[in-house]
Chain A
Amino acid sequence: MAATTIATVRKSSVIPGFGLALGVTLTYLSLIVLIPLALLFWRSASGGPEEFIRISTDPRTIAALRLSFTTSFIAALVNLVFGMILAWILVRYEFPGRRLIDAVIDLPFALPTAVAGIALTTLYAPNGWIGAWLQPFGIRIAYSQTGIIIALIFIGLPFVVRSVQPVLEDLNREVEEVAATLGANRRQTVRRVVMPALMPALLTGFALAFARAVGEYGSVIFIAGNSPYKTEIAPLLIVIKLEEFSYSGATTIAVLMLIASFLVLLAIHLIQSWSRRRYGDV
């Protein structure tokens, strides 16, 4: 979409700087993100449609994509539940160590993913700190799909907490009081009053955690078994295609992943603007 069309459709505003701000935004976005990604699409198409279809319908590609999307979905769900609880206790409760916990939430953003992968494997391998306890019960976490999910929970943890926290802080408690005086018990208040207000933020957090998890590579390859059809994630398959000098294979899988992620993100943004229109700004 060209800047001029956007500029002509914007509503009038007295605030200056629209042209400059949007110009900088679009230029930078195009140079860093859009043009390189467009090149990716172009390269994936260069093998012709048959090649594209052959690679995207290959059972191994499908297995890898399915694995990446299901493990990411489960990890994002876990993060949704625990992220919600974490945000809740951080905003609403006072307890010793609250500030510390608030600070460490962002660690997964900052810790290099490869380090996270190595550290998690150290913990969950059959002879690791935690893995050794589970080994006698026949539970194997590292080198299985569970291991992948654990790594993805780690890297997606901050997204839900950080999306929900500010909204929860701004939430007007008087509304909850009103609900209570009208006879709602605490559970009803939380379910009927608080949750709808948090829904957009929860969705954002979920979507970001999910999208980030789908693409994750560094931490997962250490803890997954990397067996084809079983524990081989889609980004690893891209790397494998590259090692075969098959750029069309690598770019095709990359494009499939991109389209899927983009659709998820777009859907979430649309749901958000819909709920904002419906419930007003909360």
Chain B
Amino acid sequence: MSDGAFTTARLHGASGIHFRPVTMERKRVRLALILISLAFLALFLVMPVLAVFVEAFRGGWPAFAEAIFEPDAAAAIRLTLLVAAISVPCNLVFGVAASWAIAKFDFRGKALLNTLIDLPFSVSPVIAGLIYVLMFGSQSLLGPWLKSEGIQVIFAVPGIVLATIFVTFPFVARELIPLMEEQGRGDEEAALSLGASGFQVFFRVTLPNVKWALLYGVLLCNARAMGEFGAVSVVSGHIRGLTNTMPLHVEILYNEYQFAAAFAVASLLAVLALFTLVVKSVLEWRYADEIAATRRH
């Protein structure tokens, strides 16, 4: 077999002649790449998650259920849901606004704005918590005044929400900006020339075009919001049943040598992550054509 680019047809025993398209690698290479990927994922991704579940069920179902329905755990789950319910919509609104501004207009400083949006990704969660302590703590300028007004920010729900918003800040915008940039402005301009108002254009042209990316961004944002540990740990105050989120509760249980219970609560978060991903996959599969259509717009 010569090594030429045109050697794309190969004999495959009795099964007849198969064509390998020129844009496809040899079977050997394909197999090798797939196996490498699977091994890599197994080692770095599947095994850790598997470990969580194995440890969670070490005590069997009853112990698992007890860990999850215990009052402090239930309070942590409620708080986590509340925090996500506030921070995700905030970031959704921001993400849509930011991507509209960046994708549909040209202005100076766009690269800088783009970078600033990514910045929270690269800020250590510890710092993310610290900045709100510096801003609202007793030692700050704002803290004592807010306190005298009866508003507690850090070591209470508002602080936890702020830290969570910070950490999940870029997720929606990151999903939308590249897609909207790629789709260009033709559709919007056409709709406008046909007499549509700005809001009509947004809700009837732009939004349907990006709804999958938007949904995906929201799902990721939500998953990360529920799982944040470092930043929340700095601003939470760790009051049992009051300001402990699920990840913090995991740490507490772990520190009380209740390893199975710790992993049980952790596995809930893993299930949530998996559920998020399944929803996304099902939607993608069900609306594959629609998604393909918006992609090629």
Contact = CB atoms under 8 A, between A and B. Distances in A.
Chains A, B in direct contact (C-beta < 8 Å): yes
B138 interface: no
B25 interface: yes
B276 interface: yes
Contacts of B46: 104
B66 to A, nearest CB: 19
Given A176-B23, A217-B126, A118 B105 contact: no
A109 B220 contact: yes
Contacts of A10: 105-108
A275 to B, nearest CB: 13
B278 interface: yes
B33 A85 contact: yes
Contacts of B226: 110, 112
A262 B97 contact: no
A218 B125 contact: yes
Contact of A32 (B113, B162, B269): B162
B165 A32 contact: yes
Nearest to A170: B295
A43 to B, nearest CB: 6
Given A32-B162, A154-B48, A262-B115, A215 B122 contact: yes
B240 interface: no
A15 B227 contact: no
Contacts of A89: 30, 33-34, 37
Q: How large is the interface on B (under 10, 10 to 19, 20 to 34, 35 or more residues)?
A: 35 or more
Contact of B37 (A82, A119, A123, A217): A82
Contacts, number: 324
B166 interface: yes
Contacts of A24: 93-94, 97-98
Chain A's interface: helix, strand, loop or mixed, by majority? helix
A111 interface: yes
Chain B interface, >50% SS class = helix
Q: Which 8 A-B pairs have the closest CB atoms?
A: A110-B273, A215-B124, A211-B122, A110-B223, A10-B107, A180-B22, A261-B122, A36-B131
B156 interface: no
Interface string A254-282: 10011001101110011001000000010
Interface of A: 1, 5-7, 9-11, 13-18, 20-22, 24-25, 28-29, 32-37, 39-40, 43, 82, 85-86, 88-89, 92-93, 95, 99, 101-116, 118-120, 122-123, 129-130, 150, 153-154, 157, 166, 169-170, 173, 176-177, 180-181, 183-186, 189, 208, 211-212, 214-218, 234-235, 238-239, 242, 247, 250-251, 254, 257-258, 261-262, 264-266, 269-270, 273, 281
A266 B115 contact: yes
A214 B116 contact: no
Nearest to A167: B178
15 contacts: A11-B107, A14-B192, A24-B94, A86-B41, A104-B45, A115-B266, A118-B263, A122-B55, A130-B43, A185-B4, A212-B122, A217-B126, A251-B130, A266-B112, A270-B111
